[in-house]
Amino acid sequence: MHFALEKFTAALFRSLNVRAEMHGADPVPAVDVGFRIIGSNNLLLMFDPGLKAALYKKAGASNEPEFDEVDPTSDMPELRSPSIEMPISLNKEYLGRILVLDYGLGGKSNIELANCEINNFRVDCQEGGTVQIDFRVQAAGVEEKALGKLAALVRHDVQITIMSSPEADGTQEQLPDTKPSNKSVAPDPGPPPEAGDIFAETHAPASVVAARAVLKAKLGSKAPPKTLKAKMKVAAKKAAKKG
């Protein structure tokens, strides 16, 4: 498993530090954003499959109440060693992540920071199976408009997603409400020709071939295949009479 929040998750926007980061000879605006998420100790599985079992153990039925804002109590609600001083620091760092903050209206209004570095994890484990995780997101090349939005969110509850990017691990995970790729897409060639059409095209007079080409260019793939075929036959007959 890997550290990721693939669905919008409630978080506290704890802090914002704006700085400059050198990219070559030029300084670019960069940010350090502090977040806090609270949930069940199943969140620990994102860091290491054995971390949850190292900190928690199974117990009998719990009298702890369940709260709507956190995940249900896990199957290992009891701290293995209550004497461990909390919070603990995790020596983890994740590169090339994409952070999206819901800014209220969704879609284009969201704040998206690409190629982020996520680090400085501090975990506060509590009896009953609830954990509080603080972490830092660092990003460079942040646009001025995004900086203004980020400043307005400090100390507010927000909804965030954090996912891997192609630069990080070769995956092609799609974020909700993100813009499609700018890569060029080949035009729709329209309905495939039938064998009879290909043969007739080869042996048709030049005028007929030209008429068919003009009609196909005008109609493209907008016309249904049967309509396109019928209109091309009519155009071919007219061109044959003229030619």
For 39-58, how does the pLDDT look when each residue is reduced to its tens digit (9 = 90+)? 999 999 999 999 999 999 99
Report domain extents, the chain. Answer: 5-169, 195-242
CA distance 38 to 134: 9
Q: Average pLDDT in the 140-167 region?
A: 91
Where b means 16+ CB within 10 Å and e means fewer, 108-124 reads eebbbbbbbbbbbbebe
Q: Quick one: average pLDDT of 18-37?
A: 93
- Read off the pTM: 0.63
- Whether 107 and 158 have beta carbons less than 8 Å apart is answered as no
* pLDDT, tens digit, 9 for 90 and up, residues 75-115: 899 999 888 899 999 999 999 999 999 998 778 889 999 99
Q: How far is CA 204 from CA 7, 114, 191, 199, 238, in A?
A: 58, 56, 20, 9, 13
Do 5 and 161 form a contact (C-beta atoms < 8 A)? yes
